[in-house]
Amino acid sequence: MTPVLGSSVDVPTEDGVADAYLAHPADGAPRPGVLLYQDAFGLRPHLRAMADRIAGAGHTVLVPNLFYRQGRAPVVELPEFIDPSARPEIFEKLGPVIRELTDERAMRDADAFLGWLAQSPLVSDGPVALTGYCMGARLALLTAGHRPDRVAAAAGFHGGRLATDQPDSPHLVAGKVTAELYFGHADDDPSLPPEQIERLEQALTEAGVRHRCEVYEGARHGFTQADTAAYSEEGAERHWAALLDLLDRTF
């Protein structure tokens, strides 16, 4: 693994300033950019560690606090080990914060994050890659359709509500996507039932999007997150192999 440096940065947006974590190889040379979209629990030590691992493979990684409108991270105080079944008040506090992040706001933010990466001397010229977790998987797909000129590849893991029957469903952007996509779905995930998995696959195939969608058997929603009760070491390592393979192919 390449030695990595990490630091806190502020990213100006149309609605304020988003605090973020930036990880990059220590030599300071420009590398392909990766925008990492958080899960519902937000920017915290575990996501910083994930960014460090991606940076160690030769990338410059930005992890913004998507909830910056409510304050700097952590917006909601979290225990070191997150078990929502034992601490139901976590989601009671997070629910309103998540609902505040509308798709319109999220895509305004995406423009800011992608623009910041494009201007950074630590990021090489050209489009970037996205990886997202839980709610971040949804945002990765939306961003790939919103800014196809800036996104070369996008991955999403244990995403929810990716292909609903609503008019704002993320799968409806498939016709605008030019990036290669990869999705690693959690098995038996209430937020992504089989009919949504099938609908997503059909939409991507009919749109001619280069993609692969896989269900990780036995993995729960949130399986990549080592600081939560949903973590699966097997599923997480499979995710790392798939993600890094996608980045290697892209860059």
Active site residue 189: yes
- The pLDDT of residue 1 is 79
Among residues 11, 243, 209, 242, the alpha carbon closest in space to that of 123 is found at 11
CA 12 from chain center: how many Å?
A: 19
Q: Are strands 151-157 and 128-133 parallel, antiparallel or unpaired?
A: parallel
Active site residue 221: yes
**Contact between 71 and 167 (Cβ < 8 Å):** no
Catalytic residue among 158, 189, 211, 239: 189
What is the side-by-side strand order in the sheet with 33-37?
Answer: 4-13, 16-25, 60-64, 33-37, 128-133, 151-157, 180-186, 211-216
- The pLDDT of residue 85 is 84
- The pLDDT of residue 12 is 98
Alpha-carbon distance of 7 to 21, in angstroms, equals: 6
- The pLDDT of residue 197 is 98
Where do the domains of the chain lie, and which CATH numbers do they carry? 20-250 (3.40.50.1820)
Among residues 204, 206, 207, 236, the alpha carbon closest in space to that of 220 is found at 236
Reported as a single tens digit per residue, the pLDDT across 175-222 is 999 999 999 999 989 999 999 999 999 999 999 999 999 999 999 999
- The pLDDT of residue 87 is 81
For 188, other C-beta atoms within 10 Å of its C-beta total 14
What pairs with residue 228 in β-bridges? 82
Residue segments in the chain with a per-residue pLDDT below the cut of 50: none
Active site residue 39: no
Q: What's the angle, vertex CA 166, arms to CA 164 and CA 171, rounded to 5?
A: 50
Q: CB-hemisphere CA count at 13 Å for 206?
A: 11
- The pLDDT of residue 84 is 82
Alpha-carbon distance of 16 to 13, in angstroms, equals: 5
- The pLDDT of residue 27 is 97
- The pLDDT of residue 171 is 98
Reported as a single tens digit per residue, the pLDDT across 1-13 is 789 999 999 999 9
Catalytic residue among 46, 134, 158, 239: 134
